[in-house]
Chains A and B, each alone.
Chain A
């Protein structure tokens, strides 16, 4: 089963990290990504630019409205994701728990509808 692991953390706190800390977190991410590629669970992953770079698009009554910023102001912001192939929810949870940001933020585990192709 495929799951999307959405990584939420507080951007302001992250921006306040000292460079040495940031380097060590990045190293943890590299290790983690390598390990799930090796295990065959990795499908995709990306790091997103911060919500200050976000734009929200809504089309109502045929009009395209764009606003500066994320779809909603939240205490934690979406910073990245992993798409993984896991046998069941327990396996997906185990992967999510190893994501470095899980220690300071929240990882939402969302099952993906199987493709109807």
Chain B
């Protein structure tokens, strides 16, 4: 409902005001007149009309600009017909998502706006998720909405071909929310289940609004398969438990089943393969192994190689090297990581040094391993990860 009001009124704050007014009016009127045939349409029309009336009454705002806005709002008078259905409201929600993720806004703004306006989290909850004060988050939201107004960012779902570019931005924001919840970048907590849940909910909404889209399906599958492992990922004391050491009986089998089905669906759609779908396929291979020794590492290596062709990145190269170590041994993997390190792109990434340390340790080169883990420790920011690294050093 909020999304439709935003479209009709062209402003986030006016839309929220309208929604409040609408609910108040509904409580007053429906008690004696009964619930209308299409309650949502009634609420939207009523809310919008009350806000327009209020604007008109406030003479201090009278100006050519505002008159033009009112005129165009009135032109939309038939915009919420009685037979407005889920498709109309769904379209508006899609428009809202694309607006919140518009490339002209900063990436901080994308996540803040999406959580606040699409997911409906309170400003306080969004602030908590990003470990900033409520004031800071409120300001961030105000700035973003101002940019939308001042720069004329449209409340539109882009048409193809622009759509294909922009959907990737949207998916990146959703994945950003998920990874923030799955492995927060600062602070003591490794995992924030609430954010993961919101991201998955967004993924499901996108799947509903854009059915059979391989990238959407791939991302949703990926998030479900990762989230399935969440109960086993952190110990009682808050320590990280690596995949290979996790208690697999704690994995959420329902999420896994759903994720596996979605991966199949995503990969069966012909056309360009989505990197999200490949990542999901890798996650699928991990969760399908009942014991870690049953993991199909050669297939995982192959999938990483496909992924590297689609979306080359140092982080993926690192993951590829780890998989290679399980098939061809630590020496070969160390070669790959060393050549990655030599290119100098990820020298600040603590996991690169941790991986080097791990391979060196497997090769019995303990002094070098200690040095590598040490470098990782200076770069790691999350306390549970730091504890893990210290434990590794102690084990040498």
Contact = CB atoms under 8 A, between A and B. Distances in A.
Interface stretch (B117-125, B146-154, B224-232): B146-154
A16 B313 CA distance: 35
Query: Which among B104, B151, B156 has the highest number of chain A CB atoms within 10 Å?
Result: B151
Contacts of A88: 152-154, 156
Interface in A57-94: 86-90, 92-93
A111 B65 contact: no
A97 to B, nearest CB: 11
A104 interface: no
B342 interface: no
Given A111-B151, A111-B152, A90 B158 contact: yes
A104 B104 CA distance: 20
Interface in B131-158: 150-154, 156, 158
Contacts of A27: none
A116 interface: yes
A94 to B, nearest CB: 8
Contacts of A89: 102, 104, 151-154
A114 B63 CA distance: 11
Contacts of B78: none
Nearest to B65: A114
A117 B65 CA distance: 11
Interface residues of B, number: 13
A12 interface: no
B162 interface: yes
A116 B65 CA distance: 8
Contacts of A114: 64-65
A1 interface: yes
Interface residues of A, number: 13
Interface in A28-46: none
Contacts of A111: 150-152
A92 B323 CA distance: 46
A93 B104 contact: yes
A90 B156 contact: yes
Contacts of B162: 90
B64 to A, nearest CB: 8
Contacts of B154: 87-90
Nearest to B158: A90
Contacts of B65: 114
A88 B65 CA distance: 15
Contacts of B156: 88, 90
A86 B156 CA distance: 15
Contacts of B158: 90
A3 B210 CA distance: 33
Contacts of A3: 152
A86 B151 CA distance: 11
Nearest to A3: B152
B151 A116 contact: no
Given A86-B152, A88-B156, A90-B158, 7 more contacts: A1-B152, A87-B154, A88-B152, A88-B154, A89-B151, A90-B153, A111-B151
Interface of B: 63-65, 102, 104, 150-154, 156, 158, 162
Interface of A: 1, 3, 86-90, 92-93, 109, 111, 114, 116
